[in-house]
Chain A
Amino acid sequence: MIVARGLTKTYGPKTAVDHLSFTVEPGRVTGFLGPNGAGKSTTMRMILGLDRPTSGSVTVNGRSYAASPAPLREVGALLEARALHPGRSARDHLRWLAASNGIPRARIDEVLDLVGLEAVADQRVGRFSLGMGQRLGIAVALLGDPPVVVLDEPVNGLDPEGIRWVRRLARELAGQGRTVLVSSHLMSEMALTADHLIVVGRGRMLADCSMSQFIADHAASYVRVRSPRSAEVETLLRQHGLDVDRHDDELRVQGLDAAGIGELVGRAGLHLHELTLVQSSLEDAFMTLTADSVEYAAHPTETAGALR
């Protein structure tokens, strides 16, 4: 279990993490979501005692990370930036980590096997591809068989097969009763992995709820209705107390499902050309939620005209 209370980190004038309070419960995957620069990595570094909070605190299993006698046995972490010497082999990297926390050497082969790096274990990690480096990072995280696992963008650089593997792994770890915190900026990724969501933007908490709650709250849906006599249909639906938005020749109706609307219109003797349930994706919901807190938005280029 990870508990943060009023966690705050400022770098000079910049507030990277702003009074975050949350609890990451064991037995489920908690997705940590936010746009670039939202403060996810900073929060994770504070959990691991790498950065010192400006104020507030964070504990892992009831105590600060640094107070753990053998932290790798307590918390396994995959950090954002590679924390490896490129000249060292994967096995040697795991070897010093294991030594530092009194973990037997046999465990090294176990985790290498687990992440599928046995064949390249003796190669220098500088030659590793992004995905191989990421797999080694996950091997490091699992080295101490820790009850708490913190993964900062674990699927970054992985191929589709690797992405599915990480998803399954996260779910499996949670299923074993471990505490699993996984960060991402992809809502679609989290939708497949997380049971619980913590959404941040500009260091502030935007949402802390279960995945299903998030979907119910944020993923808006409406029924698209087209009719040759749309003005009459609109009046009819409004009379029945439904929300109707007109966009050109289509009506966006909220408050009743598609079947209900179809019957209502049919009974009035009107014809429909389209009746579709439209659900905005979770990605859209996430974008809407974080729209105000995106710092590093791209601006559309205006060179298109010059090319003509």
Chain B
Amino acid sequence: MSATPTASAAPPRPASTPGPDVVRLDPNRHVPGVRRPGFAQVLHAEWVKFWTVRSTGWSLGLLFLLGAGLTTLICWAVAEDLAAGDTGESPASFITWGLLFSQLTALALGTLVVTSEYGTGMIRASVTAVPRRGRVVAAKALLLTGVLFVAGVVTAVIGYLGGNWFLDREGVGLALSEDGVLRALLGNGLYLAGLGLFALALGLLIRHTAAALTIGMALVLVVGNLAYALPGTWGEWVAKLMPGNAGGSVAQVAPFSGGAVLAPWTGFAVFCAEVAVLLLVAVLAFRRRDA
């Protein structure tokens, strides 16, 4: 690096106007490397950002513990009653039960990926490094969905293995080959990935960790459950279309008997559409607003 400025002796003060003694910068003097960085470089940058903050490790660790751990725990607790037929529920409803809690961490992770940048001012560094803001969001979204999908599937599989061990002991276990089991394990990853995107979009719109997180959780959990109290078929439809209810059914082998839900893949398609619309609005706002 020849042209690297060093803080050595003070150079003589040049004239106010650039004279002939001023060195013209050689355009090829730049540090080596990729001259026209593209999406791959932006993705790499987001990858580094993602894994170099503690909240990532915490969120993913909790996601696994809550998802796999609570599923195992509930199966251990209810296995006997299930075998006796006392619960009125199918064992299939319990095999991904931890998702109820692990979805919170997916929401948190998705929110933080954006709002932590707003909270710290990092967003300005991000946008100066990559002024094409759509690319920044695309890279974040791809990374987040990839990681959450893998984490969701791994968590569900471990939870299934743990929970099913107790169910099997009581003779009410589910084989992997049974209807909907594989779909639900895969669906865990899909649903959590979608939920992460949903939270990311909310974060982009709201730009404030606590507010975005609260609204995200309220929409998915609280409002989603309250909607079941709405009267009539109209109310039932509203409840079925709420993001958490629509998206969640793909991640369950069989729903609990309480609320009506859409068929797994129909529900997931509805959920994806909702996330896509929200994300589109968020990206448009992000591109227009001052960083």
List residues of A whose CB falls within 8 A of some B CB.
Answer: 25-28, 45, 48-52, 65-66, 68-73, 77, 79, 81-89, 92, 95-97, 99-104, 107, 110, 114, 140, 142, 144-145, 147, 165, 168-169, 171-178, 195-196, 210-212
Contacts and interface: CB of A to CB of B under 8 A. Distances in A.
B169 interface: no
A110 B124 contact: no
Interface residues of B, number: 56
B37 interface: yes
Nearest to A46: B290
Contacts of A85: 49, 53, 116-117, 120, 122
B48 A66 contact: no
Interface stretch (B27-35, B76-84, B85-93, B99-107): B27-35
Given A83-B121, A97-B45, A101-B129, A27 B4 contact: no
Contacts of B33: 101-104, 107
Given A72-B129, A83-B125, A176-B3, A52 B45 contact: no
A104 B46 CA distance: 16
B1 A65 contact: no
26 contacts: A26-B18, A49-B128, A49-B131, A50-B290, A69-B37, A71-B129, A71-B130, A81-B124, A83-B123, A84-B121, A87-B54, A87-B55, A100-B130, A102-B33, A102-B34, A102-B35, A102-B37, A102-B41, A114-B4, A142-B5, A145-B29, A172-B5, A177-B22, A177-B24, A196-B16, A212-B16
- Binding site secondary structure of chain B: loop
A71 B23 contact: no
Contact of B131 (A71, A92, A211): A71
A97 B125 CA distance: 8
Contacts of A110: 1, 4
B10 interface: yes
Contact of A171 (B13, B22, B45): B13
A169 B45 CA distance: 28
B16 A147 contact: no
A174 B52 CA distance: 35
Interface in B31-61: 31-37, 41-42, 44-49, 52-55
B30 A144 contact: yes
B231 interface: no
Contact of A101 (B1, B16, B37, B117): B37
Given A100-B130, A210-B16, A83 B122 contact: yes
Contacts, number: 180
B258 interface: no
B74 to A, nearest CB: 34
A147 B25 contact: yes
Task: List the 5 shortest-distance A-B pairs measured between CB atoms, nearest first.
Answer: A102-B34, A27-B18, A100-B45, A66-B131, A102-B37
Nearest to B289: A52
Nearest to A92: B52
B37 to A, nearest CB: 4
From B11, B35, B37, B130, residue with most partner A Cβ within 10 Å: B37
Contact of A69 (B35, B46, B125): B35
Given A99-B44, A100-B41, A168-B10, A86 B18 contact: no
Contact of A114 (B5, B34, B44, B121): B5
A88 B7 contact: no
A102 B14 CA distance: 33
Contacts of A169: 5, 7
A211 B16 contact: yes
A126 to B, nearest CB: 9
B14 A27 contact: yes
Contacts of B122: 83-85
Given A70-B36, A97-B129, A172-B10, 8 more contacts: A49-B127, A52-B290, A79-B125, A83-B128, A84-B122, A97-B125, A102-B35, A172-B5
A65 B133 CA distance: 13
Given A70-B37, A101-B41, A177 B121 contact: no
B23 A176 contact: yes
A302 to B, nearest CB: 38
Nearest to B49: A96
From B47, B48, B128, B131, residue with most partner A Cβ within 10 Å: B128
